[in-house]
Amino acid sequence: MPELPEHLKRRAAERRKQLGLSGDTEGAAEGGTEDASAGAPTEEAPAPETPAETPSQTPAAAAGEEITESKGGVPAHLLERSRRRKAAKEGGEAASVGGGGTATAVKAAPIATPSGTGPGGHTQRLLTVVKSGSIQQVRGEAQDKVHTWPHLLVIELAATLSVSAMLLIFSALVRAPLLGLADVNQTPNPSKAPWYFLGLQELLTMFHPMIAGVTIPGMALFLLIIAPYVDKNPSNKPEDRKFAISIFTVFLMFWTVLVIIGSFFRGAGFNFVFPWNDGIFFEL
């Protein structure tokens, strides 16, 4: 049950004491608090429920009802006023039959003529207490967030600048290869694919070209694409997903090792060589 704010409870208790209600003040205040929820049949939605029960009621009515039921008792001035109103209005009779004694007291309240001030010279009174849960439901957890500027943008700036600088220096020092003019009649030995395809070329030494060049890379791509739909484990903690991590690590190692062998351990005729014996047959 949603807690009533402390200061409202205290104010209610003070008010009761002032009005000189029967019963000890503490108890009445407690009772009032409980009624606040009891008066509304469903805790989540007291607001729509109340008008359905007694259509003519307003929030003021709800407040009156609570006090009545707390017994306690209806504040004397309210009872008195309602009696006055009832006498004045005939329609009040019918409503009181339907709604019971409680509703009688209650119904009168909203229509009360603005008589300036209430008893004790008060110009305000508590109409109703709307519990916070009935107004809004907070769904998402509050997250620890920081402003993109400067926290993220500064890092991005540093990262891009340092990569640019490294690339510039590297490019100034290392020249991109430009071999002789292309000649279809002169096959270099060995002929190698770009480095990222050397894993496939390595497979070509072991399997039929259809398997090595189409089936295996196709399967690899297919497996990558379906990975999120196959992996039903909702956790992203490394300790919960040992299997997925080992499979993927094997997958990465498989390609890395193949690419390294294809790049550095294959010499003339794409035969296996050791780079420290026969040199490197590799161009980027």
Helix axes 59-70, 46-53, angle to 10 degrees: 90
Considering only residues 26 through 45, tell me which ones interact with other proteins, judged by CB under 8 A: none
- Provide the CB-side half-sphere exposure for 176 (13 A, CA): 3
Query: Using the rule CB under 8 A, is 151 a contact of other proteins?
Result: yes
Query: How far is CA 163 from its chain centroid?
Result: 35
- Provide the CB-side half-sphere exposure for 80 (13 A, CA): 5
Among the residue ranges 46-54, 69-77, 111-119, 226-234, the one whose residues contact other proteins (CB under 8 A): 226-234
Enumerate residues 6+ apart whose C-beta is below 8 A from 152: 146
Single out the residue of 97, 138, 225, 250 in contact with other proteins (rule: CB under 8 A).
Answer: 225
The CA distances from residue 192 to 18, 69, 216, 264, in Å, are 97, 91, 19, 11
Considering only residues 164 through 223, tell me which ones interact with other proteins, judged by CB under 8 A: 164, 167-168, 170-172, 174-184, 186-188, 191-197, 200-201, 204, 208-210, 212-214, 221
Among the residue ranges 50-58, 86-94, 125-133, 157-165, the one whose residues contact other proteins (CB under 8 A): 157-165
Answer whether 268's CB lies under 8 Å from 190's CB: yes
Answer whether 32's CB lies under 8 Å from 72's CB: yes
For residues 92, 98, 99, 100, the Cα torsion angle rounded to the nearest 10 degrees is 90
The CA distances from residue 270 to 184, 202, 211, 265, in Å, are 19, 9, 19, 9
Residue closer to other proteins (CB basis): 45 or 193: 193
Query: How far is CA 86 from its chain centroid?
Result: 53
In the bound complex, what is the minimum distance in angstroms from residue 203's beta carbon to other proteins? 9
In the bound complex, what is the minimum distance in angstroms from residue 183's beta carbon to other proteins? 7
How many residues at the interface with other proteins, by CB under 8 A? 72
Among the residue ranges 30-38, 45-53, 74-82, 143-151, the one whose residues contact other proteins (CB under 8 A): 143-151
In the bound complex, what is the minimum distance in angstroms from residue 254's beta carbon to other proteins? 13
Considering only residues 232 through 271, tell me which ones interact with other proteins, judged by CB under 8 A: 233-238, 241, 244-245, 248, 252
Residue closer to other proteins (CB basis): 76 or 214: 214
Single out the residue of 89, 231, 268, 272 in contact with other proteins (rule: CB under 8 A).
Answer: 231
Answer whether 106's CB lies under 8 Å from 57's CB: yes
In the bound complex, what is the minimum distance in angstroms from residue 138's beta carbon to other proteins? 17
Residue closer to other proteins (CB basis): 1 or 167: 167
Considering only residues 68 through 127, tell me which ones interact with other proteins, judged by CB under 8 A: none
Residue closer to other proteins (CB basis): 7 or 232: 232
In the bound complex, what is the minimum distance in angstroms from residue 239's beta carbon to other proteins? 10
